[in-house]
């Protein structure tokens, strides 16, 4: 298993390099000057050229790219233009907030999607199945940028039950986690329903029922257990999506995480900070996929990682 994981990690390095290269090129192509953002519109031309030279932005793009790769090889993500601090320190201060929010959102997603999917498969064609189908349609149709403000209007402003924004305690997790988790719960529900329907039509399930096993044992001890592989796959992909796609939700709720930091880096044309954020997000996605591979072998002993 260790050899397989090492090979997967090794094969992920070209993908990480490609992502970083594309981000580096794109942020240099997009119009906007970080020096003018830092000094303001009234800065003298001499000040602008001096600061641009100090930051190395007057060098050709390929020279800046080579300098960036050399820094990266020494685990140096550079200095933030906006915050005037090491990028590595800024990201490590913000990353735990995003990780916590993603974990809570994943729990919300699993708590909704798994029971709803099992119920819909168990009562296929019933009113419960139709209700679950309506929920999945609603979850897929309503985007985060619409659901988030709606939850704020209802549960923060109208009722006053949860804080509007910030990361000030356990209650502050509820609305952003629900915003991120509902759409993913709809996807997970459909996946669980499909996997359970396939398992419930298998011969071993009919045999278990013929032996007189309780329906709960048939559903969870037999069918659900064999349906875990596709469920783990979608959960792993969704967790990576939560880490990478928290930009909108963190911006709506002023969550001090990596997604909001990425938006700030884009607005300020902060090249080193943006590159550092994308790198951490990409590495997180790779590590989540590796962890998912490990879970395959834990859940299903038939899986052999070679």
**Mind listing the domains of the chain with CATH numbers?**
87-299 (1.10.3720.10)
- C-alpha atoms less than 13 angstroms from C-alpha of 161 in its C-beta half-sphere: 10
Which two tokens mark 32?
């906007």
CA distance 60 to 22: 17
Tokens 């899986």 identify what position?
303
Assess contact for 259 and 249: CB atoms under 8 A. Answer: yes
For 62-75, give one letter per residue: b (16+ CB within 10 A) or e: eebbeebeebbeee
Residue (of 233, 214, 217) closest to 225 by Cα position: 217
Spatial CB neighbours of 51, under 8 Å, sequence gap ≥ 6: 35, 38, 39
Model pLDDT, residue 90: 92
Assess contact for 276 and 269: CB atoms under 8 A. Answer: no
- How does DSSP assign 122-165, residue by residue? HTTTSHHHHHHHHHHHHHHHS-HHHHHHHHIIIIIIIS--S-SS
CA distance 221 to 203: 15
Model pLDDT, residue 140: 80
CA distance 178 to 251: 15
CA distance 178 to 160: 16
Which two tokens mark 91?
């990201």
CA distance 48 to 60: 17
CA distance 18 to 28: 16
Per-residue pLDDT of the chain (306 residues; tens, 9 = 90+): 666 666 667 777 787 788 888 888 877 777 666 776 666 666 677 777 777 777 777 778 888 888 888 888 888 888 888 888 898 999 999 999 988 998 999 898 889 988 898 888 888 888 888 888 888 888 888 888 888 889 999 998 888 888 888 888 888 999 999 888 888 888 889 888 888 888 888 888 888 888 888 878 888 777 887 788 778 888 887 887 787 667 888 888 888 888 888 888 888 888 888 888 888 888 888 888 777 777 776 766 665 544
Instruction: Count the helix, strand and coil residues of the chain and give each as a percent rounded to the nearest 5.
Output: 75, 0, 20
CA distance 65 to 25: 9
Taking CA atoms, 240 is separated from 25, 152, 194, 259, 287, in Å, by 24, 25, 22, 13, 9
Model pLDDT, residue 305: 47
For 221-246, give one letter per residue: b (16+ CB within 10 A) or e: ebbbebbbeebbbbbbbbbbbbbbbb
Q: Nearest-5° angle of CA 72, CA 60, CA 283?
A: 25
Tally Cβ neighbours within 10 Å of residue 206.
Answer: 12
Model pLDDT, residue 301: 61
CA distance 134 to 139: 9
pTM listed for this prediction = 0.81
């Amino acid at each position: 298993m260790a050899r397989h994981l090492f090979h997967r990690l090794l094969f992920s390095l070209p993908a990480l390099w490609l992502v970083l290269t594309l981000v580096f090129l794109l942020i240099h192509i997009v119009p906007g000057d970080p020096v003018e953002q830092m000094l303001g519109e009234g800065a003298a031309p001499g000040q602008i050229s001096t600061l641009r030279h100090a930051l190395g932005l007057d060098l050709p793009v390929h020279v800046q790219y080579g300098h960036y790769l050399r820094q990266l090889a020494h685990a140096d993500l550079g200095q933030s233009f906006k915050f005037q601090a090491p990028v590595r320190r800024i990201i490590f201060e913000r990353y735990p907030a995003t990780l916590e929010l993603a974990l809570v959102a994943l729990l919300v997603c699993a708590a909704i999607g798994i029971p709803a999917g099992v119920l819909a498969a168990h009562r296929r064609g019933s009113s419960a199945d139709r209700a679950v189908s309506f929920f999945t349609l609603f979850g897929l149709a309503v985007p985060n940028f619409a659901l988030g403000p709606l939850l704020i209007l209802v549960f923060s402003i109208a009722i006053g039950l949860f804080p509007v924004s910030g990361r000030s305690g356990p209650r502050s997790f509820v609305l952003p986690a629900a915003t991120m988790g509902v759409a993913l719960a709809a996807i997970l529900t459909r996946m669980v329903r499909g996997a359970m329907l396939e398992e419930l039509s298998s011969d071993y399930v009919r045999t278990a029922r013929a032996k007189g096993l309780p329906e709960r044992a048939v559903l969870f001890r037999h069918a659900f257990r064999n349906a875990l592989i596709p469920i783990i796959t979608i959960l792993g992909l969704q967790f990576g999506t939560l880490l990478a796609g928290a930009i909108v939700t963190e911006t709506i709720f002023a969550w001090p995480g990596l997604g909001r930091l990425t938006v700030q880096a884009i607005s300020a044309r902060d090249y080193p900070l943006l590159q550092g954020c994308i790198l951490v997000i990409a590495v997180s996605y790779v590590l989540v996929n590796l962890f998912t591979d490990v879970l395959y072998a834990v859940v299903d002993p038939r899986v052999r990682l070679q």
